[in-house]
């Protein structure tokens, strides 16, 4: 159905490439959109999420600290360390809390609770802390948020009216909220990635959905477009086969339609020319051929008259032979121009007939073998026909005149690679010097060269003349 | 008719004979009871119930079907004495002070000593800050001491009767901010061991009383505190818990009870039963195990302290 070098295949491939190019461009646009437009969105969304969650988390941390400071007022007032310890132990159950310290004004830890496998709450009770965080927390008049690595330290005063009873500090680990932020950002990023992937998938799906009918449309249109061209191709084949009456059915008026019309006009002209040629050949055959035949017959009749002298009879005999040769020339010429007759079988028959007639008349045995490959499809032009025939004729004439041969063997073969004609006799042979003297041999060599081939002459127990023309024929430029 | 009546009599006699024989060996006792005086009935019920349930299950061979906990609420020892005399409590699990009182007043008989937190005996300590000028309990006159609560032996009764026995007069105050009469020692209840040590550390009170077990527990006395404290009084060492039985309880039943208590830590079920109370094991009384009672009786007599 598809040939790589056909216009239809090229059209389909072109359209597939066009679709692929469109898909690639659209996907490129989507990816570029992701890179150019969505990247800032990702960035700002990440910042927004981080800020919002951090802010909410810090707000919650402050609220927990504030609530704890309020709950500690009464036990702090009673100096109920045990109760305070119970309260902060309960508060420690809140996730993200790493430690809770309750300081007195001097920075000493009244109560402490530390989360972990080896909680150090009791060990810290009664100890002084003088690190920067503690000093700032003690010095602060209001709630203070300090960052220390993964820990956010929130400090608040435990107030009874205007009197500050103690300072409570809660260390919140921000690992949890960071994990949440990371998870949310990942979810956002994944969502955007999914959207981009979905868009690309949709483009691919659309390409498939639209591509298949588009290819079908391309095939339909290309068939419509190429139909007249196929007509032209068929027409050329028919004309090449000799059918000059073939006409392409043209419906369109586009360039291909115009080409088809021109082709039809050309075919009509060729047909007309062919008819005229046929008429000329017929006239030549009936006119010149008839006259030459009459000359031959009249000269033969004149030879038989007793009143004619021997010299006149010899002249009449010459006239008769020349007439006969002339008839042969005319017939060969007509055959060569007659498209109906110019085929390998006709040429073979002509060679065999001529050879047999000419050689047998001189008491020499004539044997011809032909090996024609009809499937090779080698075209036999008029020029080739005439040159082969005339080469053969010259070879036969030389054998009759000079060889004294008793047997002549001819091999004529045609295949895809070459046309070969070999004429061999068992006569006296031909000397090297004599090869250059004769006009006939030179003509044969020239004819071979004209057809792009060569002629070889061998003399060994007779003479062998071989004409070999490689195919396709490369005519020698004049 | 006569034959039928005779058969029925024989049947009833036959069925009740083993029961009568058993009653002859062990007095009929289907419910075994255990009790103590407490002001926290719910907690004590949860802690003691596994022990008596386990014990009853081990005494089925002598007809005991179940165990019950009988508690004297509001920490009233007088109620405990009454329940004891009425025979409503068979076994008592008490602190040495009340055990002494139950023995002397209620006629209860100590049979075993309980080990808890890895030790079999403890004593009571009175401690002060090192930077104070107090070197003995007599120096606490005009100052304040923190006790745990009114139900605590080591954190209240023992140090109190110890100080009273020394002729010191104590007066209960509502808070550590109260003013203490110069000739008396004021005392407040801190409510917990941690508060006692904290109040002494932060100089809210001059002294505090704890058991030696609490003294060595960092959660009650943090190391930072301890470095600043010194001990000015130690009571005589005594068991933390004593197992007693009511007067009149069959001796053979008492022996079986002792037998089961002594091997309670040998089985997984037994270990689970004593775990809520933190007991490790129960051991036999030694020759001098009850010597502390003499001293306590003496101090009670001198101090005139009485239980409610």
> Which structure tokens are listed for A150?
């993964």
Residues A87 and A134 placed together within one structural domain of the fold: yes
What residue of B is the nearest CA neighbor of A109?
B224
CB contact under 8 A, A82 and B224: no
A77 shares contact with chain B (CB less than 8 Å): no
Residue B170's pLDDT band (cuts 50, 70, 90): very high
Measured in angstroms, the CA of B128 and the nearest CA of chain A are apart by 16
Residues A321 and A350 placed together within one structural domain of the fold: no
A125 shares contact with chain B (CB less than 8 Å): yes
Q: Which of A81, A88, A110, A166 to mutate to test the interface with B (most CBs of B within 10 A)?
A: A81
A150 shares contact with chain B (CB less than 8 Å): no
Residues A324 and A350 placed together within one structural domain of the fold: no
Residues A152 and A96 placed together within one structural domain of the fold: yes
In this structure, of A236-240, B208-212, B220-224, B301-305, the range with the lowest mean pLDDT score is B301-305
pLDDT at A119 over 70: no
In this structure, of A102-106, A473-477, B27-31, the range with the lowest mean pLDDT score is A473-477
User: B-chain residues within 8 Å CB-CB of A80?
Assistant: 191, 195
CB contact under 8 A, B191 and A79: no
Residues B99 and B147 placed together within one structural domain of the fold: no
pLDDT at B20 over 50: no
pLDDT at A3 over 70: no
Residues A434 and A316 placed together within one structural domain of the fold: no
Q: What is residue B34's predicted lDDT score, i.e. its pLDDT?
A: 92
A85 shares contact with chain B (CB less than 8 Å): yes
Instruction: Please state, in angstroms and rounded to a whole number, the distance separating the CA atoms of residues A346 and B13.
Output: 150
Residue A275 in any domain: the answer is no
Range ranked top by mean pLDDT from A247-251, B72-76, B114-118, B266-270: B266-270
Last residue of a domain, one of A124, A157, A173: A173
Q: The domain containing residue A119 runs over which residues?
A: 72-173
Residues A353 and A440 placed together within one structural domain of the fold: yes
Instruction: Please state, in angstroms and rounded to a whole number, the distance separating the CA atoms of residues B9 and B13.
Output: 6
Residue B9 in any domain: the answer is no
| 3-state SS, one letter per residue, for chain B | CHHHHHHHHHHHHHHHHHHHHHHHHCCCCCEEEEEEECCCHHHHHHHHHHHHHHHHHHCHHHCCCEEEEEEEHHHCHHHHHHHHHCCCCCEEEECHHHHHHHHHHHCCEEEEEEEECCECEECEEEEEECCCCCCCHHHHCCCEEEECCCCCHHHHHHHHHHHHHCCCCEEECCCCCCCCCCCCEEEEECCCHHHHHHHHHCCCCCEEEEEHHHHCCCCCCCHHHHCCEEEEEECCCEECEEEEECCCCCHHHHHHHHHHHHCHHHCHHHHHHHCCCCEEEEEECCCCCCHHHHHHHHHHHHHCCCCC
Residues B182 and B128 placed together within one structural domain of the fold: yes
Range ranked top by mean pLDDT from A113-122, A158-167, B294-303: A158-167
DSSP-derived letter for residue A399 is I
Residue B19's pLDDT band (cuts 50, 70, 90): very low
B119 shares contact with chain A (CB less than 8 Å): no
Residues B271/B265, Cβ–Cβ less than 8 Å? yes
Residues B56 and B104 placed together within one structural domain of the fold: yes
Residues B156 and B72 placed together within one structural domain of the fold: no
Mean pLDDT value of segment A336-355 = 79
Instruction: Please state, in angstroms and rounded to a whole number, the distance separating the CA atoms of residues A471 and B78.
Output: 142
Residue B4 in any domain: the answer is no
User: A-chain residues within 8 Å CB-CB of B202?
Assistant: 79, 110
Q: What is residue A338's predicted lDDT score, i.e. its pLDDT?
A: 67
Residue A22 in any domain: the answer is no
Residues B157 and B79 placed together within one structural domain of the fold: no
Name residues 91-110 of chain A within 8 A of B (Cβ).
110
Residue B300 in any domain: the answer is no
Residues A349 and A473 placed together within one structural domain of the fold: yes
Mean pLDDT value of segment A260-283 = 82
Residue A73's pLDDT band (cuts 50, 70, 90): very high
Residue of B175, B198, B223 with shortest CB distance to A81: B198
Residues B215 and B281 placed together within one structural domain of the fold: no
Residue B213 in any domain: the answer is yes
Q: How do residues B134-161 score in pLDDT, each as one tens digit?
A: 999 999 999 999 999 887 888 888 898 8
Q: What is residue B244's predicted lDDT score, i.e. its pLDDT?
A: 93
Residue of A79, A110, A122 with shortest CB distance to B219: A122
Residues A62/A145, Cβ–Cβ less than 8 Å? yes
Indicate whether this model's pTM tops 0.90. no
CB contact under 8 A, A85 and B201: no
Measured in angstroms, the CA of A41 and the nearest CA of chain B are apart by 54
Residue A397 in any domain: the answer is yes
Q: What is residue A102's predicted lDDT score, i.e. its pLDDT?
A: 94
B219 shares contact with chain A (CB less than 8 Å): yes
Measured in angstroms, the CA of B182 and the nearest CA of chain A are apart by 24
Residues A320 and A447 placed together within one structural domain of the fold: no
Give the number of domains in chain A: 3
Residues B269 and B222 placed together within one structural domain of the fold: no
Residue B257's pLDDT band (cuts 50, 70, 90): very high
User: B-chain residues within 8 Å CB-CB of A123?
Assistant: 218, 222-224
User: B-chain residues within 8 Å CB-CB of A124?
Assistant: 222, 224
Q: Taking the CB of residue A325, how many other CB atoms lie within 10 A of it?
A: 15
Residue A36 in any domain: the answer is no
CATH number, residue A77: 3.30.450.20
Q: How do residues A287-339 score in pLDDT, each as one tens digit?
A: 787 888 888 888 888 888 777 788 888 888 888 878 877 877 777 777 767 66
Residues A327 and A406 placed together within one structural domain of the fold: no
Residue A12's pLDDT band (cuts 50, 70, 90): confident
Give the number of domains in chain B: 2
Residue A2 in any domain: the answer is no
Last residue of a domain, one of B235, B268, B294: B235
Residues B144 and B194 placed together within one structural domain of the fold: yes
CB contact under 8 A, A125 and B192: no
CATH number, residue A385: 3.30.565.10
User: A-chain residues within 8 Å CB-CB of B190?
Assistant: 82
Q: What is residue B274's predicted lDDT score, i.e. its pLDDT?
A: 92
Chains A, B: CB pairs < 8 Å = 44
Residues B139 and B224 placed together within one structural domain of the fold: yes
Residues A432 and A308 placed together within one structural domain of the fold: no
CB contact under 8 A, B204 and A127: no
Q: Which of A122, A129, A165 to mutate to test the interface with B (most CBs of B within 10 A)?
A: A122
Residue A55 in any domain: the answer is no
Greater confidence (A172 vs A478) lies with A172
Q: What is residue B21's predicted lDDT score, i.e. its pLDDT?
A: 39
Residues B112 and B128 placed together within one structural domain of the fold: no
Q: The domain containing residue B177 runs over which residues?
A: 124-235
Q: How do residues A448-460 score in pLDDT, each as one tens digit?
A: 888 888 888 888 8
Greater confidence (A10 vs B107) lies with B107
Residue B66 in any domain: the answer is yes
What residue of B is the nearest CA neighbor of A126?
B224
- Dihedral sign (CA A93, A97, A101, A102): negative
CB contact under 8 A, B195 and A126: no
Residue of A78, A82, A126 with shortest CB distance to B224: A126
In this structure, of A221-235, B49-63, B81-95, B278-292, the range with the lowest mean pLDDT score is A221-235
Q: How do residues A175-234 score in pLDDT, each as one tens digit?
A: 887 888 888 888 888 888 888 888 888 888 888 888 888 888 888 888 877 777 787 788
Residues A105 and A169 placed together within one structural domain of the fold: yes
CB contact under 8 A, A79 and B202: yes
Q: What is residue B18's predicted lDDT score, i.e. its pLDDT?
A: 41
User: B-chain residues within 8 Å CB-CB of A88?
Assistant: none
Residue A453 in any domain: the answer is yes
Residues B78 and B152 placed together within one structural domain of the fold: no
CATH number, residue B260: 3.40.190.10
Q: How far is CA A198 from CA A30, A43, A183, A195, in A?
A: 10, 21, 22, 5
Residues A357 and A425 placed together within one structural domain of the fold: yes
Last residue of a domain, one of A116, A141, A173: A173
Q: Which of B195, B220, B227 to mutate to test the interface with A (most CBs of A within 10 A)?
A: B195
Instruction: Please state, in angstroms and rounded to a whole number, the distance separating the CA atoms of residues B210 and A337.
Output: 144
A411 shares contact with chain B (CB less than 8 Å): no
CB contact under 8 A, A122 and B218: yes
Residue A478's pLDDT band (cuts 50, 70, 90): very low
CB contact under 8 A, B194 and A127: no
């Amino acid at each position: 159905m598809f040939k790589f070098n056909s216009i239809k295949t090229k059209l389909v491939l072109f359209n597939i490439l066009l679709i692929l190019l469109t898909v690639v461009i659209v996907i490129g646009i989507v990816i570029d959109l992701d890179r150019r437009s969505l990247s800032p969105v990702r960035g700002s969304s990440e910042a927004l999420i981080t800020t919002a969650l951090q802010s909410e988390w810090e707000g919650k941390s402050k609220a927990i600290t504030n609530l704890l400071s309020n709950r500690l007022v009464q036990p702090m007032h009673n100096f109920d360390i045990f109760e305070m310890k119970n309260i902060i132990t309960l508060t420690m159950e809140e996730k993200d809390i790493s430690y809770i310290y309750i300081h007195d004004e001097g920075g000493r830890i009244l109560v402490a609770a530390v989360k972990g496998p080896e909680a150090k709450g009791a060990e810290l009770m009664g100890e002084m802390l003088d690190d920067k965080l503690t000093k700032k927390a003690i010095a602060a008049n209001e709630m203070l948020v300090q960052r220390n690595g993964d820990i956010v330290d929130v400090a608040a005063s435990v107030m009874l009216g205007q009197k500050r009873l103690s300072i409570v500090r809660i260390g919140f680990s921000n690992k949890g909220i960071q994990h949440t932020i990371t998870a949310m950002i990942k979810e956002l990023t994944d969502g955007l990635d999914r959207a981009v992937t979905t868009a690309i998938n949709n483009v691919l799906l659309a390409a498939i959905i639209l591509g298949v009918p588009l290819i079908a449309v391309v095939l339909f249109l290309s068939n419509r477009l190429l139909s007249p061209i196929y007509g032209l191709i068929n027409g050329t084949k028919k004309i090449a086969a000799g059918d000059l009456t073939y006409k392409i059915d043209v419906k369109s008026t586009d360039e291909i339609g115009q080409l088809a019309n021109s082709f039809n006009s050309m075919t009509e002209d060729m047909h007309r020319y062919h008819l005229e040629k046929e008429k000329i050949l017929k006239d030549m055959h009936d006119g010149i051929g008839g006259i030459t035949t009459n000359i031959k017959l009249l000269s033969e009749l004149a030879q038989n008259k007793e009143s004619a002298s021997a010299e006149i009879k010899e002249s009449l005999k010459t006239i008769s032979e020349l007439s006969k040769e002339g008839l042969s020339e005319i017939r060969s010429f007509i055959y060569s121009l007659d498209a109906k007759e110019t085929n390998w079988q006709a040429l073979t028959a002509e060679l065999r007939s001529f050879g047999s007639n000419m050689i047998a008349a001189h008491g020499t045995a004539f044997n011809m073998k032909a090996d024609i490959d009809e499937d090779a499809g080698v075209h036999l032009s008029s020029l080739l026909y005439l040159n082969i025939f005339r080469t053969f004729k010259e070879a036969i004439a030389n054998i009759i005149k000079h060889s004294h041969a008793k047997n002549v063997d001819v091999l004529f073969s045609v295949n895809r690679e070459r046309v070969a004609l070999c004429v061999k006799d068992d006569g006296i042979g031909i000397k090297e010097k004599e090869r250059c003297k004769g006009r006939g041999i030179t003509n044969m060599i020239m004819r071979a060269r004209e057809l792009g081939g060569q002629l070889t002459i061998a003399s060994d127990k007779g003479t062998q003349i071989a004409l070999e023309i490689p195919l396709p024929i490369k005519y020698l430029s004049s | 008719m006569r034959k039928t009546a005779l058969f029925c009599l024989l049947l009833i006699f036959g069925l009740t004979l083993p029961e009568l024989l058993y009653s002859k060996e062990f007095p009929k006792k289907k419910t075994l009871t255990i009790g103590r005086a407490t002001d926290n009935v719910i907690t004590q019920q949860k802690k003691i119930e596994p022990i008596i349930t386990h014990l009853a299950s081990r005494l089925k061979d002598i007809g005991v079907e179940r165990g019950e906990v009988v508690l004297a609420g509001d920490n009233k020892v007088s109620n405990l004495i009454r329940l004891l005399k009425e025979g409503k409590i068979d076994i008592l699990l008490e602190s040495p002070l009340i055990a002494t009182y139950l023995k002397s007043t209620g006629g209860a008989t100590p049979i075993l000593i309980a080990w808890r937190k890895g030790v079999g005996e403890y004593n009571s300590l009175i401690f002060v800050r090192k930077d104070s000028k107090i070197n003995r309990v007599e120096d606490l006159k005009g100052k304040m001491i923190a006790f745990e609560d009114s139900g605590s032996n080591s954190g209240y009764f023992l140090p109190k009767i110890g100080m009273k026995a020394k002729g010191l007069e104590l007066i209960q105050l509502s808070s550590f901010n109260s003013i203490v009469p110069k000739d008396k020692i004021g005392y407040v209840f801190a409510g917990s061991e941690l508060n006692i040590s904290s109040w002494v550390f932060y100089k809210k009170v001059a002294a505090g009383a704890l058991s030696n077990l609490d003294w060595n527990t960092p959660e009650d006395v943090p190391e930072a505190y301890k470095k600043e404290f010194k001990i000015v009084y130690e009571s005589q060492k005594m068991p933390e818990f004593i197992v007693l039985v009511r007067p009149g309880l069959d001796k053979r039943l008492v022996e079986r009870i002792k037998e089961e208590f002594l091997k309670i830590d040998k089985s997984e079920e037994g270990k689970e039963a004593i775990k809520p109370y933190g007991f490790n094991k129960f051991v036999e009384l030694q020759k001098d195990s009850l010597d502390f009672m003499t001293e306590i009786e003496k101090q009670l007599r001198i101090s005139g302290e009485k239980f409610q």
